[in-house]
């Protein structure tokens, strides 16, 4: 009875607030139009036969294509291998940082390694791998005198993706390990268990849900990755590259839509397991913050081997990234390395429209970032602080973009907007413009910002906002003057994350970009495919500088103007 009266009161308060109702309606429309609609169109295209009726003929046709069936097997093999390797390496790095006493050098290296994949394009390591270990690589050809090797194919993709994605696992495990109460492990040690026994019988079982979570996140990222298989895959086809070539090479949009549905089904299945099974178990397994500090391992027999191994691994990753700006200074890659020259940087801006590429990428990302951050905070606010029937729909659809590979989304936008909504011509003007690129940037970054906002809002006592309502403020005024200032740090971090993800994106926009807009990542991919590694490295080096500079500026802004600083001063 009381519950029903409370629900009725919440509904009455909601309907009396026109700003809130309008926001919810616009948000549902936006999410339905730019997330659900393109995916629905893909399904419709896939199940409509040549005669116009419901049919499986398109699926029958694509499954008869040998390269497609091979691509499915290849994609799953790569995904499982990358998931296992990245999870294992990430766990090792996290364990060493949390449990072992390290020197400042090793600690600094770990921080650099965790930051590099964030501020660099997703395919930088593919360039480095080819330049260091390819047939004309510095290490293989000029140092080891090996001429018949090939980094292209299965192992090339696995190595590059593992190095790219293991920092994600490392950051996940770092948080999980810090939350384990050290008294549990110390009790086992007091009973005579060795460190290895403690890890296998206490620490590892507590981490099992987190390990499954990290594996599935990496698996999804791996099978959805387009850029790395495109550059270093060679003849080793994956689903993402096969879909791209089906549109750009075979001009088979219906076939590409069906292939995209297959890839989407795989990622959605993994996402559902990761989101609704393993995440729930993970939060229940670890019981919050540790009750006291952990005694770090100082035993040299453990400390020296582990820190040395991880430091060497971190140095190798850093070397791979450093290779990119150095590669941009070589006169002719594979034939002449010295003397160093700046001709590739000069050509970027004189012959290859570098200014336009950087301007277009920067401006589109700069427009998308604040919109994404604001939308994320609004969705988070509605999910955490308000009660209404469509709340679950908004949360689920906003998170759905996380499970949709960029290539699938690109195909969906082509099929959904090239002829207008449902081929009526409505909103056809969006297709081929900068607006559709901005929308894609927003959709791709929305889940990350929303998760951050939800976590921040759950820490705010509802009585703070209720006081403002009692004083006569409407929902818009409460959100802008009370809620948003309290989650300013999450908003700003969402802003910088959205900017970085947008300016380094490629898989979702490579099918949608037109000659009207030049984007840096598309240019890098184009030159890398042609074998023009000097130009590709020059573009990539400048892009890394831009993104790293943006992250640095935003972090400084958060440090000096964020809410955390005010709380520290108040203390």
Q: How far apart are CA 405 and CA 240, in angstroms?
A: 8
Per-residue b/e over 101-131, b at no fewer than 16 CB within 10 Å? ebeeebeebbeebbebbbbbbbbbbbbbbbb
Banded model confidence at residue 229, pLDDT cuts 50, 70, 90: very high
Q: How far apart are CA 206 and CA 91, in angstroms?
A: 13
Is residue 470 over pLDDT 80?
no
If you average pLDDT over residues 505-516, what whole number do you get? 88
Angle at 361 between CA 360 and CA 365, to 5 degrees: 115
pLDDT reading at 227 higher than 50: yes
Q: What is the pLDDT of residue 288?
A: 47
Confidence at 161, pLDDT banded by 50, 70, 90: very high
User: Which range has the worst mean pLDDT, 89-93, 163-167, 404-408, 457-461?
Assistant: 457-461
Say how far apart CA 21 and CA 438 lie, in whole Å: 25
The reported pTM is 0.85
Domain at 339-565: CATH architecture: Orthogonal Bundle (1.10)
Residue 567 pLDDT = 41
Quick one: how far is CA 174 from the chain centroid? 18
> pLDDT band for position 492 (50/70/90)?
confident
3-state secondary structure of 336: strand
Dump pLDDT digits (tens) for 296-343.
778 888 888 888 888 888 898 888 888 888 888 877 765 566 677 788
pLDDT category at 30 given cuts 50, 70, 90 is very high
Peptide bond into 339 cis (omega under 30): yes
pLDDT of 222: 92
SS3 assignment, position 54: strand
Domains 54-327 and 339-565 share a fold: yes
Q: Can you tell me the mean pLDDT for 78-97?
A: 92
Q: Given pLDDT bands bounded at 50, 70 and 90, which one contains residue 571? A: very low
pLDDT at 563: 52
pLDDT at 13 over 90: no
Sequence spans of domains, the chain: 54-327, 339-565
- The pair of structure tokens assigned to 313 is 């691994």
pLDDT value, residue 336: 61
pLDDT score recorded for residue 550:
79
Q: What is the mean pLDDT of the chain?
A: 82
Instruction: Classify the C-alpha dihedral 463-467-472-475 as positive or negative.
Output: negative
Distance set, CA 514 to CA 360, 369, 423 (Å)? 12, 21, 21
Query: CA 474, 476, 480, 481: dihedral to nearest 10 degrees?
Result: -10
Indicate the fold that domain 54-327 takes in CATH. Answer: MetI-like fold (1.10.3720)
| Structural contact between residues 19 and 474, judged by C-beta atoms closer than 8 angstroms | yes
**How do residues 361-396 score in pLDDT, each as one tens digit?**
999 999 999 999 989 988 988 888 777 788 888 888
Query: What's residue 476's pLDDT?
Result: 72
Q: What is the mean pLDDT of residues 515-544?
A: 88
Mean pLDDT (whole number) for 517-546:
88
Q: What is the mean pLDDT of residues 527-549?
A: 87
Q: How far is CA 378 from CA 13, 374, 445, 491, in A?
A: 18, 6, 14, 10
């Amino acid at each position: 009875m009381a519950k029903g009266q409370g629900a009725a009161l919440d509904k009455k308060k909601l309907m009396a607030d026109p700003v809130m109702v309008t926001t919810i309606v616009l948000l549902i429309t936006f999410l339905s139009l730019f997330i659900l609609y393109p995916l629905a169109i893909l399904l419709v295209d896939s199940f409509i036969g040549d005669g116009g009726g419901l049919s499986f003929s398109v699926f029958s046709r694509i499954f008869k294509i040998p390269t497609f069936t091979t691509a499915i097997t290849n994609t799953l093999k790569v995904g499982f291998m990358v998931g296992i390797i990245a999870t294992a390496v990430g766990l090792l790095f996290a364990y060493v940082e949390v449990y072992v006493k390290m020197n400042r050098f090793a600690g600094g290296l770990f921080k650099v390694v965790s930051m590099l994949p964030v501020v660099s394009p997703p395919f930088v390591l593919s360039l480095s791998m080819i330049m260091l270990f390819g047939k004309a690589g510095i290490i293989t050809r000029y140092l080891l005198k090996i001429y018949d090797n090939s980094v292209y194919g299965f192992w090339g993709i696995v190595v590059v993706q593992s190095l790219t994605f293991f920092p994600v696992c490392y950051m996940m495990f770092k948080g999980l390990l810090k939350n384990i109460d050290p008294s549990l492990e110390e009790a086992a040690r007091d009973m005579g268990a060795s460190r290895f026994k403690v890890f296998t019988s206490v620490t590892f079982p507590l981490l099992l849900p987190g390990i499954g979570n990290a594996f599935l996140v990496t698996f999804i990222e791996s099978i959805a990755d387009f850029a790395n298989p495109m550059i270093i895959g060679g003849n080793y086809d994956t689903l993402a590259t096969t879909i791209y070539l089906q549109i750009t090479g075979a001009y088979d949009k219906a076939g590409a839509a069906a292939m995209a549905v297959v890839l989407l089904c795989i990622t959605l299945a993994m996402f559902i397991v990761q989101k609704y099974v393993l995440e729930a178990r993970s939060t229940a397994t670890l019981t919050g913050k540790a009750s006291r500090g952990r005694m770090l391992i100082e035993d040299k027999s453990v400390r020296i081997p582990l820190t040395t191994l991880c430091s060497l691994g971190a140095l190798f990753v850093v070397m791979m990234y450093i290779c990119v700006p150095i590669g941009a200074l070589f006169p002719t890659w594979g034939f002449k390395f010295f003397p160093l020259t700046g001709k590739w940087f000069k050509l970027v801006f004189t012959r290859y429209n570098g200014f336009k590429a950087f301007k277009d990428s920067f401006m589109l990302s700069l427009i998308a970032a604040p919109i994404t951050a604001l939308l994320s905070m609004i969705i988070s606010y509605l999910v955490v602080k308000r009660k209404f029937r469509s709340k679950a729909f908004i949360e689920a659809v906003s998170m759905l973009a996380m499970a949709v590979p960029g290539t699938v989304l690109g195909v969906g936008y082509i099929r959904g907007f090239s002829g207008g909504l449902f081929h009526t011509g409505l909103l056809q003007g969006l297709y081929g413009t900068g607006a559709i690129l901005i929308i894609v940037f927003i959709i791709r970054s929305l889940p990350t910002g929303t998760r951050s906002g939800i976590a921040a809002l759950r820490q705010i006592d509802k009585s703070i906002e209720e006081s403002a309502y009692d004083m006569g403020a409407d929902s818009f005024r409460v959100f802008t003057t009370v809620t948003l200032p309290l989650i300013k740090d999450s908003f700003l971090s969402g802003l910088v994350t959205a900017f970085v993800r947008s300016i380094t994106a490629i898989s979702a926009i490579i099918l949608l970009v037109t000659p009207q807009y030049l984007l840096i990542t598309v240019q890098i991919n184009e030159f890398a495919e042609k074998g023009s590694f000097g130009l590709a490295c020059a573009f990539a080096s400048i892009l890394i500088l831009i993104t790293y500079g943006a992250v640095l500026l935003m972090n400084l802004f958060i440090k000096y103007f964020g809410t955390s600083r005010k709380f520290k001063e108040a203390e």
